[in-house]
Chains A and B, each alone.
Chain A
Amino acid sequence: MRDLRQPAVGRWVLSVVTIMLWVQTAHGHVKNGEAAGFLSGFRHPMSGLDHVLAMIAVGLWGAQLGAPAVWLLPVAFPMVMAMGGMLGLLGVPLPGIEIGIAASAILLGLAVLSEARPPIAIAATLVALFAIFHGYAHGTELPPGQSGLLYSMGFVIATGCLHGVGITIGTIHRWGWGQKLLRMAGAGVAMAGAFFMWRAFK
């Protein structure tokens, strides 16, 4: 009797495991994590003051430089930033990320403070270089279970909105008092960048 039972148990186990592994087709499912993915991506650039200040400074500097920099910088930044994010996702090593981010705040702040007017190619290259560091640091932190596409959308849109905030604030550049205020804001960004640099080396 005992001899007969053991193979029967084995067949049961085999059947149960087979049924469990035989994946049935899913007829309709609710998409999970979609809104959370977008919100995570949207909130992420806002969560770090270093990122926020640098993005706004890009907008401020663009507004000071006027056309075509006012639109060229915000067009170039998200694309190069995403390339930085891609490098991070691929695991390509990029040393000195925190230092690069702090340096971006310092130099962009100084550019706004001094109303620097380099050739557009140099300005775009400088901003693109900083964008790589920001993308590398911030674009790769997808929380588990959330949509990568919607996270990317939220992240890019939030960054663009921060540029928009900078450009909108930068419209005060047309008035004398506005120019002074913008320079003060540039000084503030540069000082914050110096603090980030100190923290990076700490």
Chain B
Amino acid sequence: MSTGVRLKSCCSMSLGSLFLMVLCPLPAEAHLNSTGMGPVYDGLLHFLQSPEDVVPVLALALFAGLRGTDHGRRALFVLPSAWLLGGLLGLASTSSGNSILTVASFLLLGALVAADAHLSLLATTLIAVLLGLGHGYLNGAGMGQPEVGAIALFGLVFMVFVTVAFSAALVVRLRQPWTRIAVRVVGSWIVAMGLLMLGWNLHGKL
């Protein structure tokens, strides 16, 4: 075989390999920031550093608080449980989620808060389950370290519990009309954020 033919063959192989490699990128696993205090605190910090998770949880807590004590109590226990289940399912999976779920959470929950929608307890429970399963799954799938991730999930779920407990309890106690309106204004802000996020997402795809 002549040198030219060898070089040509080598270049073809290189280009072929390059093309295959570019087509098969590995997903980036694990985005837990280290606190240096162990995976429980890493999970806790992860939640606090993720506005895409904090805002929908806050929105559900505000909505449940506006609807009263029963709704608040239901969200308090259902959301973290569903989040944990979703997280464990996510840890076991290899697929990663997409941001459309986050956008949908912002839009739906923000609209419910802004409209002060009068939903039944069952509807609040269903929303809490769907929110917990969806966002928990995304968290679990994003962690990518099953052994550490499972422990981190407990820290994360604890923070979800604390966020719902404080926020819903605060809103349940509001009696002055203007304070409830202020909560609804926050709901409209969440919808606005969701709309802009939807714009960013669609903009990225166009």
Contact = CB atoms under 8 A, between A and B. Distances in A.
Please indicate whether A and B come from the same complex rather than being unrelated chains: yes
Interface of A: 2-3, 6-7, 10-11, 13-14, 17-18, 21-31, 34, 71, 74-76, 78-79, 81-83, 85-91, 139-140, 142, 148-150, 152-153, 155-157, 160
Interface stretch (B10-18, B59-67, B70-78): B10-18
Given A23-B25, A28-B31, A85 B6 contact: no
B200 A152 contact: yes
Nearest to B29: A25
B30 A85 contact: no
B93 interface: no
Contact of B114 (A79, A88, A152): A79
Interface string B3-44: 100110011011001100110011111111110000000000
Ranked 9 nearest A-B pairs via Cβ: A10-B10, A89-B199, A86-B199, A82-B195, A82-B192, A152-B196, A78-B192, A148-B200, A21-B21
A17 B15 CA distance: 10
A74 B14 contact: no
Contacts of A155: 196
13 contacts: A6-B6, A7-B7, A17-B14, A17-B17, A22-B21, A25-B28, A28-B33, A28-B34, A78-B188, A82-B191, A86-B198, A90-B199, A160-B185
B33 A30 contact: yes
A76 B188 CA distance: 7
B184 A89 contact: no
B185 A71 contact: yes
Contacts of B55: 153
Contacts of A76: 188
A6 B195 contact: no
A91 B200 CA distance: 11
B189 to A, nearest CB: 5
Contacts of A30: 33
B10 A11 contact: yes
